[in-house]
Structure 1
Amino acid sequence: MSGHVDIVVTVRAPLDEVWAFSTDPSRWARSGHPVQDFRTDGARSTFTVEMPLTVVDRTLRYRVERVADEAAKSVYSRQFDSPDLRYGHVLFLYTPTGVGTQLRYICDFEVMPSAPITDEQLVGELTRGMCRNLAATADRIEGRTTEGNTDV
């Protein structure tokens, strides 16, 4: 089995502003996506994510290698070093529209048979979490919330 998540939000702001804001790791925690052990080397970054699971009383922990392609306005990342994930691949695509910027999150993954969660359950977890995170990012960029507000 495997899982697939595809979420699109429109941010009412110019492409370069959305790119700069959403690719700045110092802002990720305030939009609901905290990371640990962040290291960067040019466009390539590595970090650790701990994702609390709501369907089981457990946290999914994995490492991420992320490559930002500013010219193409896309970010590719792969998840690794987790006993629960066979693989995980994420693509963020940024596309200008007539009203702002379309931000698209695409994730394909497969959990290990021994994982405490199924592919279908993880689809639900990722969909709920990324919808919240992308909405919070859009709200911050569009000025509906302030930088100090961590409730979003």
Structure 2
Amino acid sequence: MTARVDNSIVIQAPIDLIWEITNDVESWPDLFSDYATAEILVREGNTTQFRLTLHPDDCGSYWSWVSERTVDPATRTVRSRRVETGPFESMASVWEFTEVGSGTQMRWVDEFHLKAEAPASAEAMAAHINRSTQLQLRGIRDRIEARLAD
């Protein structure tokens, strides 16, 4: 079963600034609360392959994977997919940035299909990703808006 999670938030900041900050993969450990490191592996044109490592979980385990993302500045969209899929048969994301009023809407859509041996159901994984995405979007908004206020 393919599952989908779709969240968005409005950030009171110019689209160019949000685009620049959210697409600076090297700085993601400062932008996302769950990333310990972001290592660039390959950069070719608008496509970047990178390794993300999370902070250790309650058991002290570090989770890490390789993803690839392609930015399209003309349409203000980003498409990414996991290269090292872990429990996912496939995992893809789309970020869309749209000017709305005096701010910018950032939309984050994840679609995934779990492997048969995955440790969770598609519903449980979707609920986890949904909670995490909402938390991270609020964090991105708060960090960017605080930066503008300084």
Same fold (TM over 0.5): yes
Indicate if the aligned counterparts of 1:51 and 1:60 stay in contact, CA closer than 8 A: yes
Rounded to whole Å, the distance in 2 between the matches of 1:145 and 1:132 is 20
Rounded to whole Å, the distance in 2 between the matches of 1:33 and 1:75 is 20
Indicate if the aligned counterparts of 2:11 and 2:141 stay in contact, CA closer than 8 A: yes
Rounded to whole Å, the distance in 2 between the matches of 1:87 and 1:98 is 36
The alignment status of 1:38 with 2:40, answered yes or no, reads: yes
Indicate if the aligned counterparts of 1:53 and 1:125 stay in contact, CA closer than 8 A: no
Please list every run of 5 or more consecutive structure 2 residues that lacks an aligned counterpart in the other structure: none
Deviation at 1:17? Answer: 0.8
Task: Give the match for residue 93 of structure 1.
Answer: 96
Rounded to whole Å, the distance in 2 between the matches of 1:92 and 1:132 is 16
What is the one-letter code of the residue matched to 1:32? Answer: S
Rounded to whole Å, the distance in 2 between the matches of 1:42 and 1:50 is 24
What is the one-letter code of the residue matched to 1:14? Answer: P
The alignment status of 1:68 with 2:85, answered yes or no, reads: no
Please list every run of 5 or more consecutive structure 1 residues that lacks an aligned counterpart in the other structure: 147-152
What is the one-letter code of the residue matched to 2:68? Answer: E
Pick which of 88-97 and 33-42 moved more: 33-42
Rate the CA distance shift 1:24–1:135 in 2: closer, same or farther, 3 A.
same
Indicate if the aligned counterparts of 2:5 and 2:111 stay in contact, CA closer than 8 A: yes
TM-score (norm 1): 0.83
Rounded to whole Å, the distance in 2 between the matches of 1:26 and 1:51 is 14
The alignment status of 1:123 with 2:117, answered yes or no, reads: no
Deviation at 1:132? Answer: 1.4
Indicate if the aligned counterparts of 1:13 and 1:100 stay in contact, CA closer than 8 A: yes
Indicate if the aligned counterparts of 1:37 and 1:48 stay in contact, CA closer than 8 A: yes
The alignment status of 1:7 with 2:13, answered yes or no, reads: no
Residues matched between the structures, number: 146
Rate the CA distance shift 1:63–1:29 in 2: closer, same or farther, 3 A.
same
% same residue: 24
Rounded to whole Å, the distance in 1 between the matches of 2:91 and 2:109 is 11
Higher helix fraction (1 or 2): 2
Computed over aligned residues only, the root mean square deviation of the Cα atoms, in angstroms, reads: 2.7
